[in-house]
A and B are shown apart, each in its own frame.
Chain A
Amino acid sequence: MPTGRVCFRVALGSSFRQRGNTVLLFKMQFMLLFSRQGKLRLQKWYVPLSDKEKKKITRELVQTVLARKPKMCSFLEWRDLKVVYKRYASLYFCCAIEDQDNELITLEIIHRYVELLDKYFGSVCELDIIFNFEKAYFILDEFLLGGEAQETSKKNVLKAIEQADLLQENIDFQMRLFAGCQRSRDTAQRTGGNWTDINVVHIIIHLPHTSFICQLLYVADNNSNSPLSTLNFTVTHTQLCLCFLPVF
């Protein structure tokens, strides 16, 4: 502990906390996710700091949070920051905010982020975040821009991510089409042929974890029972509808 005279001067200087009635902005300084063994899973910094400082802060903070017992307060005062943390299964979510802020609201921001991850990954677990951490970052960026929580509905956040995901799902697949007769009256009307001889293939594909489906209507030659052809195509952010009806 420093000698009396020195720390007296320091205390009256900068670190003496003011508790006035000032209203400061909510500004998150950084967010860290780490496991119970102290392994970092995600880090997002909203203030400019050198790499060395970041590493130091991470190391110290991880140790401090891991040392907390389960029944303790979710809020820590650490250096001149307030740290809000919560543990979800095996992951600690840790946010540092400026001293004056409403800590409960930060706790709820963490919770909202977890809810978003849960909805996106479907019952999220630590492994999902580890192996798909860039997606966790995308969701975080959509929700917290520059350290401020955007009050967008959960639906909007996830929709934005899904749309971008869809862009990259270049699906190459092959399908075997089996000929058959389609007794669909309206299809016959549309294609204008003899409806007992028409073979129609209508395929629906639902892209994983998105709300987009693809459809394709393919009218084949009639009267062959072997696999007709293999369709190779790449689907990129289009909304064609495919619906498969195998028939006799």
Chain B
Amino acid sequence: MSDVVEKTLTALPSLLSLDSQPGSTKLSSTSKLGTLIRGITELTSKHEEEKLIQRELTSIKEQVSSPNTSMRQMKELMVRAIYCEMLGYEAAFSYIHAIKLAQQGTALEKRVGYLAVSLFLNESHELLLLLVNTVLKDLQSTNLIEVCMALTVVSQIFPKDMIPAILPLVEEKLNHPKEIIRRKAVLALYKFYLIAPNQVQHIHNKFRKALCDKDPGVMTASLHIYLQMIQENPEGYKDLTASFVTIMKQVVGGKLPMDFNYHSVPAPWLQIQLLRILSLLGKNDQSTSEIMYEVLDESLRRAEMNHNITYAILYECVKCIYTIHPKSELLEKAAKCIGNFVLSPKINLKYLGLKALTYVVQQDPKLALQHQMTIIECLDHPDLIIKRETLELLFRITNAQNVTVIVEKMLEFLRINKDDYTTIDLVGKVAELAEKYP
């Protein structure tokens, strides 16, 4: 490149006076939000902060009610109002303007308007009905970004009674060519299912289509709905077990696109959802469980690396194995896994290991005996949470011989504990033990 060209290219940013810093921090030095924040951090007392914020809120109130405020200014005012609300001061006057902003603003202004609405209002707020019209309009817009924003806000907060009005529009988005819209539509329907299940009964076959969607994102979104439905009625979905197992095999085998990898683990959250679904389907049902053994074995084997997320997957696998119809080799491997957790020096893993033991110990008491030295060590651990978990575990392996010792330890813990909820919990346990072993 000749040096003239080079010189020009370097001079270009200043010629065009564009900010080339990432994160668009150019707002911070001149914006009113920046001034407000800096003002707050300079103050020393809560009282002064209150005064400053009240002043700010009055000025915002004036500006939002004035008819001359443009949408751009309104957006800026909304951001400041959100900030004040976050600090704990009420800015209820701005709610209606947030809805107006979502209605009348363009792109980013609309976005801030929707954000403000989702942060300010809650499900039972009376202003929520005003939002419905805006959302309806945006869902039919040709601008995809607006459709996305509308679907996002619908998934977060929407009045139950207006679902029939919006349902057909959301349903037709399920067939949209763009995968991001399909995905958000599935999640919106999931939200509808959670708040009003009978309204969504008739479209279950569409969920099946979403499950087989070629985009992994849409498929994952449909799993949320399936997990919920299977939890309520496992029998109805046993025929899907084979499909779930196939999907799991593909994920574990690395067939998903590379960017679903999280620290070289393929789609961990997807794996965990699938493991939960499988454990629900296989519970107390030998034939269904038999379909899953192979894939569970495979996931156990693959998740050998040393990262938090693989431990999370292993934990979920172990839980699954203990829930479904038992198979001895898998149980052995799972037991070894738990052993690794409990013996690990990392404190988070120890906690998880103890928790897994509490599940396991009812079916396999020998495992707890194997690790009893570690458990006893954990009793004296400086971290109260670990202590509590150990006591929880001990509660389950109490028998006539060790009950006095265990109850003594519990009482000791109660003396140093300060949290009311745990106190109530533990005392209840002690009482139950007292009843069982007089």
Segment from B50-58, B129-137, B254-262 that makes contact with A:
B254-262
CA–CA, A148 and B421, complex, Å: 27
Known contacts A77-B385, A104-B352, A122-B22; A21/B323 CB under 8 A: yes
CA–CA, A132 and B82, complex, Å: 12
Known contacts A21-B323, A153-B259, A209-B23; A105/B111 CB under 8 A: no
Q: Would you give the 0/1 interface string for B227-264, flagging 1 where the beta carbon is closer than 8 Å to chain A?
A: 11001000000000000000000000000010110100
A121 in contact (CB, < 8 A): yes
CA–CA, A102 and B268, complex, Å: 13
Contact assessment for B309 and A132 in the assembled complex, using a CB-CB cutoff below 8 Å: no
Contact assessment for A164 and B107 in the assembled complex, using a CB-CB cutoff below 8 Å: yes
B306 vs chain A, min Cβ distance (A): 13
B416 in contact (CB, < 8 A): no
Per the CB 8 Å criterion, the residue count for chain A at the interface is 91
B74 vs chain A, min Cβ distance (A): 14
Contact assessment for A167 and B259 in the assembled complex, using a CB-CB cutoff below 8 Å: no
Contact assessment for B268 and A108 in the assembled complex, using a CB-CB cutoff below 8 Å: yes
Known contacts A25-B227, A153-B259, A168-B107; A48/B427 CB under 8 A: no
- Which residues of A8-56 are within 8 A (CB) of B? 8, 10-12, 15-17, 19, 21, 23, 25-26, 40-44, 48-49, 51, 55
Contact of A75 among B187, B351, B423 (CB under 8 A): B351
B183 vs chain A, min Cβ distance (A): 7
- Which residues of B34-70 are within 8 A (CB) of A? 34, 37
Contact assessment for B276 and A164 in the assembled complex, using a CB-CB cutoff below 8 Å: no
CA–CA, A75 and B122, complex, Å: 28
Contact of A152 among B27, B183, B280 (CB under 8 A): B183
Per the CB 8 Å criterion, the residue count for chain B at the interface is 107
- Which residues of A225-248 are within 8 A (CB) of B? 244-248
Contact assessment for A171 and B18 in the assembled complex, using a CB-CB cutoff below 8 Å: yes
Contact assessment for A245 and B5 in the assembled complex, using a CB-CB cutoff below 8 Å: yes
CA–CA, A121 and B184, complex, Å: 24
Residues of chain A lying within 8 A (CB to CB) of residue B388:
77
Residues of chain B lying within 8 A (CB to CB) of residue A248:
4
Contact assessment for A122 and B23 in the assembled complex, using a CB-CB cutoff below 8 Å: yes
B87 vs chain A, min Cβ distance (A): 7
A87 in contact (CB, < 8 A): no
Q: Which residue of B is nearest A20, CB measured?
A: B359
B143 vs chain A, min Cβ distance (A): 8
A76 in contact (CB, < 8 A): yes
CA–CA, A133 and B115, complex, Å: 11
Contact of B428 among A11, A75, A109, A205 (CB under 8 A): A11
Residues of chain B lying within 8 A (CB to CB) of residue A168:
106-109
Q: Would you give the 0/1 interface string for A164-206, flagging 1 where the beta carbon is closer than 8 Å to chain B?
A: 1101100101111000000000000000000000000000011
Known contacts A21-B322, A23-B323, A150-B187; A208/B19 CB under 8 A: yes
- Which residues of B1-50 are within 8 A (CB) of A? 4-5, 8-9, 12, 15-25, 27-28, 31, 33-34, 37
Known contacts A73-B347, A74-B348, A153-B257; A105/B385 CB under 8 A: no
Contacts A8-B427, A12-B431 aside, 5 further interface pairs with beta carbons under 8 A come to A131-B25, A146-B155, A164-B108, A208-B22, A246-B4
Give 7 CB contacts A-B under 8 Å: A25-B227, A102-B312, A151-B260, A160-B180, A164-B111, A208-B19, A209-B22
Chain A residues within 8 Å of B, Cβ to Cβ = 1-2, 4, 7-8, 10-12, 15-17, 19, 21, 23, 25-26, 40-44, 48-49, 51, 55, 58, 71-80, 102-105, 107-109, 111-112, 120-122, 124, 127-128, 130-134, 137-138, 141-142, 145-146, 148-156, 160, 163-165, 167-168, 171, 173-176, 205-206, 208-209, 244-248
